[in-house]
Structure 1
Amino acid sequence: MKKIGYARTSTVEQIAGIEKQVVDLKAHGCEIIYQEHASSVDDQRTQLDQAIATLGKDDTLVVTTMSRLCRRTSDLAEIQKKLETRGAGLEILDLRLDTSTAIGRMTLTIIASVAQMERELMLERQAVGIAKAKEQGKYQGRKPTATTDDKALEFRKYLAKGLSIPEAAKLVGISRASGYRLNRT
């Protein structure tokens, strides 16, 4: 009956977030903690897959919050099915939820459905707000990061020296995507 922890942040920059999760998971008795920097909607979360693969009968996967595990009800159902197949449970610390009980499994399904609905409503409101702002000429979007001639010139110099696009972008202080855009122009 071991406890395996899983900590996740969306980006590498959120170091403090993952460190806090690790502290909480250790305090809860997790023997091994898998850490990942990936979006919760990303289908390739190798650390989560490894964490689940290490679980045996009566073991528990522990996360600090449901949002660290998944965002969609369908993803939660898939993870729960994998855990049940292995005879393992899921524990979500902030909800004090343990799926080793029938009431815990039912509660988890309800909470996941509400969380998904809340996210969908938020995205819908955001889209409406953006459309309204565009109509009024107020929506500009995010300011471009790589439009200054200095950054573009510096970026191209790094490429000429043989650096990869991601390496050059990091050195100049622009996103990888901006680097690829600059490379196309």
Structure 2
Amino acid sequence: MTLYGYARVSTGDQDLSVQEAALRAAGCQVIRSEKKTGTQREGRSELNILLQFLRAGDTLVISRIDRLARSLKDLQDLVHELKIKGVTLKATEQPVDTSTATGKAFFDMLGVFAEFETNLRRERQMEGIAAAKQRGVYTGRKPKIDPDEVRRLHLEEKLSPSVIARRLGIARSSVYRSLPGTHGVET
């Protein structure tokens, strides 16, 4: 039985050292770490490497379950994959051990709370954005496309939508939307 550790923080300015130290103290021979959001599994290359590497009898060790996933579905999917492989999951800071009935039950409860926390954070963020918009502080992302410039390049310089798109670094479909009457036909 080999212990493999996985550490994750959400942003580049956060520190992984506390998690990595806890995983070493738990006896992990191999520790994979990454700085990626836990709200989705895509792009988490270190986790994917671990999942491909784990074999029956191994244990995946994390500090807390929210380091593994932020949604209950992702968490359950990961644990299901581990179970199929014969791999158990343990957490250093929580009584999670999927090799026991109590550990599994506690794991499920913590998963619900991790997703709840993510949803609350998202709600607070949306409320903050709405309040900022009301005060006129938040105006959103600056537009990447200047429709006047698109029309000028098309009418004055007689450039085709493809050339305009390349020059401005935008999609050709965006050029068509800025040019009334083209209806997707390149001129």
Normalization by structure 2: what TM-score?
Answer: 0.68
Q: Which amino acid aligns with 2:37?
A: S
Following superposition, the deviation at residue 53 of structure 1 comes to 2.5
**Higher-Rg member (1/2):** 2
Following superposition, the deviation at residue 64 of structure 1 comes to 1.0
Partner of 1:30: 28
* Identical-residue share of aligned pairs (%): 35
Q: Give yes or no for the alignment of 1:9 onto 2:9.
A: yes
Q: Detail structure 1 runs of 4+ shifted over 4 Å in the superposition.
A: none
Q: Please say if residues 61 and 88 of structure 1, whose CA atoms lie closer than 8 Å, have aligned partners that are also in contact.
A: yes
Deviation digits for residues 28-57 of structure 1 (CA, Å, limit 9, x no counterpart): 100111122322224132211221222222
Q: Please say if residues 95 and 103 of structure 2, whose CA atoms lie closer than 8 Å, have aligned partners that are also in contact.
A: no
1:79-98 equivalences in 2 (<5 Å): 79-98=78-97
Normalization by structure 1: what TM-score?
Answer: 0.68
Q: Please say if residues 65 and 110 of structure 2, whose CA atoms lie closer than 8 Å, have aligned partners that are also in contact.
A: no
Deviation digits for residues 36-91 of structure 1 (CA, Å, limit 9, x no counterpart): 23222241322112212222222210011222211111110111011101111111
Following superposition, the deviation at residue 140 of structure 1 comes to 5.8
- Number of paired residues? 144
Q: CA RMSD in A?
A: 2.3
Deviates more, 1:40-49 or 1:22-31: 40-49
**Uncovered stretches (5+) of structure 1, i.e. residues with no partner:** 145-182
1:42-57 equivalences in 2 (<5 Å): 42-57=41-56
Q: Please say if residues 52 and 61 of structure 1, whose CA atoms lie closer than 8 Å, have aligned partners that are also in contact.
A: no
1:50-89 equivalences in 2 (<5 Å): 50-89=49-88
Following superposition, the deviation at residue 24 of structure 1 comes to 1.1
Higher helix fraction: Structure 1 or Structure 2?
1
